[in-house]
């Protein structure tokens, strides 16, 4: 049987190589799709070959960045995990990475809905659970149901798998405790302990209003990102678990990133994170927690985070025609709100005193979510007074434009051009020194392809 | 002139960015010099039928919808029935639409609804009905089309005495079978076109404003025209999405 499986592996690898040669795409899914069609058992079989085990990262927001940070920490101590680093995080993306990379341990970001299945296939040593926000309701269904599926998964794997869990998200934090609120074995919590970073008020898209246990409304002392914060249930007492790894002091510095003081079981550490926003602070805390569980010492792990480059489409910076283009993926209300808050910090700086130049590309393909309703849950109002010009692109560009108009941006600053390429040219021609590009997921892929054609960015991420 | 809008359970029933509808109404009133007042009425709070011109009810997750259904039947049914009979505009979307009926099934449970419309929502084998949708309706000013997005597990069937909002051009509608979409009784509208349907159909927003103000003024007001070039493009975009399926 090994021979037959080996032949299937060789065929799938060959197809991947051909696909790249023909320049038809990134090849991060096709070989895996083919392999799984020929050999549905490929993931457990190849996964079993990872002698040092594997790590899975799942969350609505921050999977790619968190996994990238964990990879950086592992590389800092000479470890080279097999890793689906281009954000292709359903079964075929995992299969492609397993097929095309060699190593003795695995690091996989996994789509929230695919997590139970891929966890069963890989039998991971550690699972990192970041957050659950409303996202692509046409694909995932209701958030509560996803949380229930995760709860079943965690309960079943306790003892076999360790968990790093965000204490500040009640939807996921509660999964690390049993019926008596006692922490389950192998669970480590991370969270933010700096009250100075609290939002002035709770946001519109607020996804955890009721206690998972008893249904009573949570009482929030403060929130940091969406519904992530310090909460308690006045009825059954299910409050935020005390985090083991906590950011105790945070200084945000616009697009440049932040400075953090972090308390961990392995001691305290200060670091300068080169990625912006509180959402990346959460990603860094998740990564540090995971690194410690994976026996990467604190010091090299922290230094590795300091030298992080942006991962695929998450605050990448590219020079185009003498202008700096900042690429920030937006895909759901909570993630978009963090991007908008970060842009707000930039609005008065770096020659942008007369306002920000934006390019926003709203696509409605399957990987974006076909339902674009979510743009009305994101707080574009924040940016309204700070925009000089905005070009709306993508398959649903006009709906984005209407959203911005009703957020308070004058129609005279809004332009609609659905074509990714023409709209980018228009935005670049009008922009000052900096252009902030906010694409949804498939618009990001199109943008990268376009920039690659122009020789400005590498085409392939595998 | 003033338009008084109340959203029922906005904290629970907002899953598909329902606040977009409220914001859309607000801006279109403000741009015309019509005062706009907004209230929220949540769990346990009574509703004053005479105090509002337009009542909005959005969609929620199962858990929230269950909480809301019981509360609404006990604290707001009477006032809502009076408001509807008196010609108040009610827009109930998605989960809110299901609540208008006699009952709906949630898992294995049968939950009592408001009984404001002769309809029932049941579960049937088969997938959720999800996708872009377009329907044709007539609110007394000629046939026109609404484009939007639907995402519902429940199948809704209208009783003998109920009139649909419109007929399905593309998509599933009430149940994917009978070609009907939504319900309409007086100025009460229920529809599966969820979340921000008004921003995709500016005409409907203005029609609701007209109907709501007409009830207070005794005759329909003349709404000043607005520059709707972006809004028209957005409607076209949603229409094309429905054609793509």
Please check whether residue B241 touches A, CB under 8 A.
yes
CA nearest to B45, candidates B64, B84, B72: B72
CB nearest B236 (choices: A373, A398, A411): A398
pLDDT at A24: 58
Mean pLDDT of chain A: 91
Tell me which chain A residue has its CA closest to the CA of residue B29: A406
A54, β-bridge pairs? A106
Q: For residue A7, what are the contacts with CB-CB under 8 A and spacing of at least 6?
A: none
Task: Judge residue B51's burial from the number of C-beta atoms within 10 Å of its C-beta, 0-12 exposed, 13-18 middle, 19 or more buried.
Answer: middle
A461 pLDDT band, cuts 50/70/90, is: very low
How large a percentage of chain A has pLDDT more than 70?
94
The residues of B that are catalytic are 94, 194
A107 neighbors A67 (Cβ within 8 angstroms): yes
Domains and CATH numbers, chain A: 26-306 (3.40.1190.10), 314-453 (3.90.190.20)
A205 neighbors A334 (Cβ within 8 angstroms): yes
Residue B32 pLDDT exceeds 90: yes
pLDDT at A196: 93
pLDDT at A273: 95
Q: How far is CA A234 from CA A48, A147, A218, in A?
A: 45, 21, 7
Give the span between the Cα atoms of A209 and A229, in whole angstroms.
12
- Average pLDDT in the A110-124 region? 96
Chain B: closest CA distance from residue A209 (Å): 8
CB nearest A376 (choices: B11, B20, B131): B20
B65 pLDDT band, cuts 50/70/90, is: confident
Q: Provide the domain count of chain B.
A: 1
A98 neighbors A47 (Cβ within 8 angstroms): yes
CA nearest to B99, candidates B25, B3, B12: B12
pLDDT at B57: 96
CB-based contact B24 A406, cutoff 8 Å: yes
For residue range A19-50, list pLDDT tens digits in order: 777 765 556 788 999 999 999 999 999 999 99
Residue A140 pLDDT exceeds 90: no
pLDDT at A309: 74
CATH of the domain at B111: 3.40.50.880
Chain A: closest CA distance from residue B63 (Å): 8
What does the longest C-alpha to C-alpha distance in chain A come to? 67
Q: How far is CA A318 from CA A9, A310, A363, in A?
A: 36, 11, 22
Residue A224 pLDDT exceeds 90: yes
How many beta carbons lie within 10 A of that of residue A374, not counting itself?
29
B155 neighbors B122 (Cβ within 8 angstroms): yes
pLDDT at A291: 98
Look up the domain containing B141 and give its range. Answer: 2-244
How many beta carbons lie within 10 A of that of residue B107, not counting itself?
10
Residues of A in contact with B23 (CB under 8 A): 376, 406
**Hey, is A385 helix, strand or coil?**
helix
Residue A314 pLDDT exceeds 70: no
pLDDT at B108: 82
Tell me which chain B residue has its CA closest to the CA of residue A375: B17
What phi, psi does B14 have (nearest 5°)?
-150, 25
Task: Judge residue A115's burial from the number of C-beta atoms within 10 Å of its C-beta, 0-12 exposed, 13-18 middle, 19 or more buried.
Answer: buried
Tell me which chain A residue has its CA closest to the CA of residue B43: A217
For residue range A88-103, list pLDDT tens digits in order: 899 999 999 999 999 9
**DSSP E strand stretches across A195-295:** 219-225, 228-232, 245-252, 258-264, 267-273
A460 pLDDT band, cuts 50/70/90, is: very low
Chain A: closest CA distance from residue B14 (Å): 8
Interface confidence, given as ipTM, is 0.97
Please check whether residue B30 touches A, CB under 8 A.
no
**Would the CA dihedral through B85, B90, B95, B98 be positive or negative?**
positive
CB nearest A373 (choices: B194, B233, B234): B194
For residue range B107-152, list pLDDT tens digits in order: 788 999 999 999 999 999 999 999 999 999 999 889 999 999 999 9
| Angle of CA points A404, A409, A412, to nearest 5° | 110
Interface list for B 116-155 with A (CB within 8 A): 128, 130-132, 149, 151
Q: For residue B109, what are the contacts with CB-CB under 8 A and spacing of at least 6?
A: B66
CB nearest B151 (choices: A144, A371, A395): A371
- Average pLDDT in the A77-92 region? 91
A114 neighbors A32 (Cβ within 8 angstroms): no
Residue B96 pLDDT exceeds 70: yes
DSSP state of B82: H
pLDDT at A435: 95
For residue range A353-380, list pLDDT tens digits in order: 679 999 999 999 988 999 999 999 999 9
**DSSP per-residue codes, A317-359:** EEEETTEEEEEE---SHHHHHHHHHHHHHHTTSTT-TT-EEEE
pLDDT at A310: 64
B106 pLDDT band, cuts 50/70/90, is: confident
Residue A323: left if φ>0, alpha if ψ -120 to 50, beta else—which one? beta
pLDDT: which is higher, A1 or A286: A286
For residue range A179-215, list pLDDT tens digits in order: 899 999 999 999 999 999 998 877 666 777 788 888 8
- Average pLDDT in the B170-177 region? 97
What phi, psi does A64 have (nearest 5°)?
-65, -45
CB-based contact B131 A333, cutoff 8 Å: no
Residue A351 pLDDT exceeds 60: no
pLDDT at A352: 47
CB-based contact B227 A395, cutoff 8 Å: no
How large a percentage of chain B has pLDDT more than 90?
88
CA nearest to B89, candidates B58, B119, B56: B56
A336 neighbors A330 (Cβ within 8 angstroms): yes
CA nearest to A323, candidates A182, A431, A211, A172: A431
pLDDT at B123: 92
Residue A313 pLDDT exceeds 70: no
């Amino acid at each position: 049987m090994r021979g037959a499986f080996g032949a299937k592996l060789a065929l799938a690898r060959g197809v991947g190589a051909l696909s790249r040669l023909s320049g038809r795409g990134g090849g991060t899914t096709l070989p895996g799709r083919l392999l799984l069609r020929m050999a549905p058992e490929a993931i457990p079989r190849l996964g079993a070959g990872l002698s040092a085990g594997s790590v899975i990262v799942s969350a609505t927001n921050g999977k790619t960045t968190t996994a990238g940070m964990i990879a950086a920490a592992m590389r800092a101590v000479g470890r080279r995990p097999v890793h689906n680093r281009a954000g292709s995080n359903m079964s075929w993306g995992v299969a492609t990475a397993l097929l095309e990379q060699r190593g003795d341990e695995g690091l996989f970001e996994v789509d929230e809905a695919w997590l139970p299945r891929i966890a069963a296939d890989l039998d991971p040593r550690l699972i990192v659970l970041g957050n659950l926000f409303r996202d692509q309701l046409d694909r995932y269904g209701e958030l509560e149901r996803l949380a229930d599926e995760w709860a079943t998964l965690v309960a079943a794997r306790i003892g076999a798998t360790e968990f790093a869990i965000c204490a500040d998200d009640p939807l996921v934090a509660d999964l690390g405790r049993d019926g008596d609120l006692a922490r389950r074995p192998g669970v480590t919590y991370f969270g933010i302990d700096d009250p100075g970073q609290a939002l002035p008020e709770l946001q519109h898209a607020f996804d955890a209003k009721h206690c998972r246990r008893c249904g009573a409304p949570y009482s929030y002392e403060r929130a940091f990102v969406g519904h992530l914060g310090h909460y308690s249930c006045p009825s059954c007492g299910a409050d935020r678990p005390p985090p083991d790894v906590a950011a105790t002091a945070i200084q945000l510095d616009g697009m440049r990133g932040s400075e953090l003081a972090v308390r961990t079981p392995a001691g305290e550490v200060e670091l300068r994170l080169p990625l912006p926003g509180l959402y990346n602070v959460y990603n860094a805390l998740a990564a540090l927690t995971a690194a410690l569980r994976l026996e990467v010492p604190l010091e090299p792990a922290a230094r590795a985070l300091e030298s992080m480059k942006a991962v695929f489409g998450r605050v990448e910076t590219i020079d185009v025609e003498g202008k700096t283009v900042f690429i920030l993926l937006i895909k759901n209300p909570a993630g978009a709100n963090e991007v908008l808050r970060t842009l707000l910090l930039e609005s008065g700086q770096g020659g942008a005193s007369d306002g920000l130049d934006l390019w926003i590309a709203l696509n409605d393909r399957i990987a974006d979510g076909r339902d674009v309703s979510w743009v009305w849950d994101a707080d574009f109002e924040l940016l309204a007074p700070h925009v000089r010009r905005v070009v709306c692109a993508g398959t649903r560009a006009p709906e984005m434009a209407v959203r911005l108009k009703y957020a308070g941006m004058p129609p005279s600053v809004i332009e609609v051009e659905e074509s990714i390429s023409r709209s980018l040219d228009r935005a670049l021609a009008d922009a000052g020194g900096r252009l902030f590009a906010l694409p949804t997921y498939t618009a990001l892929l199109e943008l990268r392809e376009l920039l690659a054609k122009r020789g400005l960015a590498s085409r392939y991420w595998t | 002139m003033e338009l008084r809008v109340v959203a029922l359970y906005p904290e629970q029933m907002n899953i598909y960015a329902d606040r977009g509808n409220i914001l859309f109404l607000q801006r279109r009133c403000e741009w015309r010099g019509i005062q706009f007042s907004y209230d929220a009425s949540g769990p346990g709070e009574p509703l004053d039928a005479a105090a509002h011109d337009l009542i909005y009810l959005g969609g929620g997750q199962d858990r929230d919808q269950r909480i809301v259904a019981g509360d609404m039947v006990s604290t707001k049914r009477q006032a809502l029935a009076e408001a509807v009979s008196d010609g108040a505009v009610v827009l109930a979307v998605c989960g809110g639409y299901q609540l208008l009926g006699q009952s709906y099934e949630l898992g294995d449970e049968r939950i009592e609804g408001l009984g404001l419309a002769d309809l029932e929502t049941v579960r049937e084998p088969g997938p959720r009905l999800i996708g872009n949708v377009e329907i044709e309706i007539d609110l007394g000013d000629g046939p026109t089309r609404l484009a939007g997005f639907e995402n519902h597990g429940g199948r809704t069937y209208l009783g003998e005495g109920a009139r649909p909002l419109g007929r399905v051009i593309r998509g599933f509608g009430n149940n994917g079978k009978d070609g009907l979409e939504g319900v309409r009784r007086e100025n009460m509208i229920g529809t599966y076109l969820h979340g921000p349907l008004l921003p995709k159909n500016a005409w409907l927003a203005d029609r609701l404003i007209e109907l709501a103000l007409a009830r207070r003024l005794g005759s329909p007001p003349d709404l000043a025209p607005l520059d709707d070039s972006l809004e028209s493009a957005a409607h076209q975009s949603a229409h094309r999405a429905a054609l793509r399926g």
